[in-house]
């Protein structure tokens, strides 16, 4: 496979070149793709505005680099293996040739329903091959997709539809997840009652349950594609035309639409995929993420398909119908590369090794981790029991905003150190800075993680609000992209990510802004004020702990706490539901009125050591009350 690094020396050479001459480094990789017209300027950037352009005036269509480029050699190769939620239901194998036909038919169907280049299309779907088809069909016709995780609530979906003024929603009647059947279409109907930009909804029949179809607006997937041509002329896109928007949480209340564009994202997801996982032509690769997250975008769909890989898509959950389900699937398809999240590993670890030992995992050659820091215990369990001590474990650090993996071992090539993401990929220039933004050089240093030079798949803007992009990522430290993560460079020079340094909580690898949860809690009629913090959670990595001041004479604290939990679940979705809600009479505040979250984090973590000086608080007496209320005395 072209551009695949084969040994440590090649890595060092590629890395050095990518730093000394980044333009030339990426041009060579770009030359391996199909362009309708080559670019005239490789990179134009400044981190102040910020302005970020790669391959200016290049013309291409990303899907031509999956289909037109690969079909001559890959037509009959399996592109997607789909494993359904129910192990007894039939699986699906889609070849590149079949995926091409499905994509063209659906692209034509969307056009027939009025979608044009530049229109936004929301994808709110289960993990089925049609979801991938939908993404590719959007890319084919130049529509901008925004996939929304199908576990989000109607209100969260409505916010996203509204923010990008989507014209179409693609969804299903329902959704199977483990032993649950989720009514997806009803959520869409509710969301659409709150927004008015959507003109058409295409509904895939998945569960077969009864749903309301609004005449003139809703159409079944099968009917939409009936009679559509199996070919489609790909739209000509500029390198910097939007490929997709993906909403993610930040430290302010409203999720932001991270924007990725066509050429840079294409190059980087391809390049990082083949190098980190060391994919070989006949391998079967499986990433367990949901396509609603960036990991699903980059490493179920785009990276693997651009590399002509066989990518496995699983509809279900790790523990249904039994805790060996992942391993059963590895055995069934002889999976070679397996990529999952620490939270899944920890959840399975609880069941011991028996469910693992029932299955033959000898096909595995690489195992990977993403989404949150992997603790050493989980790392060792994963390495020993799943990787049988022989598979490199790639701990991949990256973000929705980075588009692709930034810091990670290249499997079997660069060193594998427990709980360390290790070294940057070629093209990535990480720096560690102190609070003032001074770069910390050398080993054994700890600080905030920034990136000082652009890479092709980096965020371009936050949709509809460029200032927000600047404020969030480019203003904390001048001339650098700030990741929001803390990092340590150890005595060997390997990087270890320490977790978020801002008000973002990472629950089971899902990013939640504390402000976003607080906004939801504040909707409760009896809540006066709230504060949300994260605390260490054995399985989820972090859990959500909420403190709320309530004004109620009738309800008990337990009742209020339960109502608040249910409210957050309704407003954002089950993933945001706080583990604990503590009703308090006041929140610790500084004299300027700022909530002292540090103290709340201590209480939530049940660790009262090093509480620090609380005498400067406006209301030191509430601290005692909060500690008592948490049952810590």
Would you tell me which residues interact with ligand WTA (CB under 6 A)? Answer: 248, 293-295, 369-373, 395-400, 421, 483-485, 497, 499-500, 506, 511
Residue 499 or 586 having the CB closest to ligand WTA: 499
50 vs 371 by CB, closer to ligand WTA: 371
By beta-carbon proximity to ligand WTA, the closer residue of 336 and 483 is 483
> Least separation, in Å, of the C-beta of 561 and ligand WTA?
28
The distance of closest approach from Cβ of residue 391 to ligand WTA in the complex, given in angstroms and rounded to an integer, is 17
Cβ closest to ligand WTA, residue 505 vs residue 527: 505
The burial of 72, by beta-carbon neighbours within 10 Å (0-12 exposed, 13-18 middle, 19 or more buried), is given as: exposed
Cβ of residue 489: shortest distance to ligand WTA, in angstroms? 14
Least separation in angstroms between residue 44's CB and ligand WTA is 26
Nearest residue relative to ligand WTA (C-beta): 400
Nearer of residues 304 and 371 to ligand WTA, judged by Cβ: 371
| Rounded Cα distance, 317 and 374, in Å | 20
Residue 373 DSSP label? P
Question: For residue 40, which of 236, 235, 240 has the smallest C-alpha distance?
Answer: 240
* Residue in the structure block whose two tokens are 């071992």: 409
* Nearest-approach distance from CB 293 to ligand WTA, in angstroms: 6
Who contacts 590 (Cβ-Cβ below 8 Å, separation ≥6)?
Answer: 596, 616, 617, 618
What minimum distance in Å lies between the beta carbon of 421 and ligand WTA?
Answer: 5
Judged by beta carbon, residue 235 or residue 401, the one nearer ligand WTA is 401
CB of residue 559 vs ligand WTA: minimum separation in angstroms?
A: 34
**Can you tell me the distance from the alpha carbon of 432 to that of 488, in angstroms, rounded to the nearest whole number?**
8
Looking at beta carbons only, is 399 or 514 nearer to ligand WTA? 399
The enclosing H or E element of 356 equals helix 354-357
Question: Cα(37)–Cα(58) distance, rounded to whole angstroms?
Answer: 6
Give the containing element (helix H, strand E) for 433.
strand 430-433
Inter-CA distances, 246 with 161, 298, 481, Å = 11, 12, 19
DSSP 401: G
Residues 6+ apart with CB under 8 A from 24: 17
Residue from 217, 192, 219 nearest 205 by CA: 219
Residue (369 or 448) nearer to ligand WTA, CB? 369
Nearer to ligand WTA by C-beta: 172 or 399? 399
For 195-233, b/e burial (b = at least 16 CB within 10 A) is bebbebbbbbebbeeebeeeeeebbebeebbeebeeebe
Pick the closer one to ligand WTA by CB: 149 or 279. Answer: 149
Cβ 493 to ligand WTA shortest distance, Å: 17
Q: Find the shortest distance in angstroms from Cβ 254 to ligand WTA.
A: 16
Query: DSSP code of 434?
Result: -
In whole angstroms, the minimum distance from the beta carbon of 483 to ligand WTA comes to 6
CB of 449 to ligand WTA, least distance (A): 8
DSSP code per residue over 134-196: HHHHHHHHT-EEEE--TTS-HHHHHHHHHHHT-SEEEEES-EEETTEEE-HHHHHHHHHTT--
Q: How many CB atoms lie within 10 A of CB 503?
A: 20
Quick one: 75 or 601, whose CB is closer to ligand WTA? 601
Residue (of 473, 488, 532) closest to 507 by Cα position: 532
How far is residue 116's CA from residue 455's CA, in Å, rounded to a whole number? 29
């Amino acid at each position: 496979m072209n551009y695949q690094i084969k040994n440590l020396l090649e890595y060092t050479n590629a890395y050095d070149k990518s730093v000394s001459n980044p333009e030339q480094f990426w041009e060579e990789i770009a030359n391996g793709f199909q362009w309708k017209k080559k670019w005239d300027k490789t990179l134009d950037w400044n981190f102040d505005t910020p302005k970020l352009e790669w391959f200016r005036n290049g013309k291409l269509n990303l899907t031509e680099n999956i289909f037109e480029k690969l079909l001559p050699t890959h037509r009959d190769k399996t592109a997607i293996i789909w494993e359904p939620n129910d192990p007894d239901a039939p699986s699906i194998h889609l070849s590149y040739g079949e995926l091409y036909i499905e994509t063209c038919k659906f692209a034509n169907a969307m056009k027939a329903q009025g979608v044009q280049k530049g229109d936004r299309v929301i994808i709110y779907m289960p993990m089925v091959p049609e979801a991938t088809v939908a993404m590719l069909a959007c890319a084919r016709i130049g529509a901008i997709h925004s996939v929304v995780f199908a576990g989000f609530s109607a209100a969260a979906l409505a916010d996203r539809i509204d923010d990008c003024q989507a014209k179409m929603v693609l969804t299903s009647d329902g959704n199977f997840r483990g032993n649950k059947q989720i009514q997806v279409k009803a959520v869409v109907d509710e969301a659409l009652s709150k927004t008015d930009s959507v003109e058409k909804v295409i509904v895939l029949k998945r569960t077969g349950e009864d749903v309301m179809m609004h005449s003139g607006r809703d159409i079944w997937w099968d009917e939409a594609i009936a009679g559509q041509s199996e070919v489609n002329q790909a739209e000509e896109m500029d390198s910097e035309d939007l490929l997709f928007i993906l909403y993610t949480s930040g430290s302010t209340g409203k999720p932001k639409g991270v924007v990725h564009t066509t050429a840079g994202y294409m190059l980087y997801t391809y390049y990082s995929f083949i190098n980190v996982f060391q994919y070989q032509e006949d391998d079967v690769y499986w990433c367990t993420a949901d396509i609603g997250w960036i990991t699903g975008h980059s490493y179920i769909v785009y990276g693997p398909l651009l590399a002509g890989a066989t990518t496995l898509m699983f509809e279900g959950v790790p523990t249904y119908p039994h805790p060996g389900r992942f391993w059963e699937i590895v055995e069934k398809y002889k999976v070679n590369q397996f990529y999952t999240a620490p939270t899944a590993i920890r959840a399975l670890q609880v069941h011991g090794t028996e469910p693992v030992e029932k299955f033959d995992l000898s096909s595995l050659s690489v195992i990977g981790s993403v989404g949150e820091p992997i603790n050493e215990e989980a790392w060792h369990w994963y390495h020993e029991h799943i990787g049988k001590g022989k598979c490199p474990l790639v701990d991949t650090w990256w973000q929705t905003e980075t588009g692709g993996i930034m810091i990670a071992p290249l499997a079997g090539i660069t060193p594998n150190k427990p709980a360390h993401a290790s070294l940057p990929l070629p093209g990535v220039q990480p720096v560690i800075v102190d609070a003032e933004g001074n770069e910390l050089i050398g080993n054994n240093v700890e600080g905030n993680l920034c990136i000082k030079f652009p890479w092709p798949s980096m965020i371009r803007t936050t949709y509809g609000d460029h200032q927000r992009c600047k404020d969030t990522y480019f203003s904390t430290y001048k001339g650098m992209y700030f990741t929001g993560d803390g990092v340590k460079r150890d005595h060997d020079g390997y990087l270890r990510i320490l977790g978020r340094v801002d008000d973002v909580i990472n629950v089971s690898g899902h990013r939640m802004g504390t402000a976003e949860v607080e906004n939801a809690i504040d909707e409760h009629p009896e809540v006066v004020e709230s504060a949300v913090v994260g605390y260490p959670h054995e399985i989820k990595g972090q859990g959500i702990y909420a403190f709320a001041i309530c004004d109620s004479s009738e309800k008990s604290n337990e009742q209020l706490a339960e109502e608040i939990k249910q409210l957050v679940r309704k407003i954002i979705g089950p993933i945001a539901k706080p583990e604990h809600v503590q009703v308090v009479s006041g929140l610790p505040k500084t004299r300027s009125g700022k909530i002292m979250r540090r103290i709340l984090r201590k209480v939530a973590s049940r660790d009262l050591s090093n509480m620090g000086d609380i005498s400067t608080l406006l209301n030191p007496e509430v601290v005692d009350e909060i500690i008592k209320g948490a049952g810590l005395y």
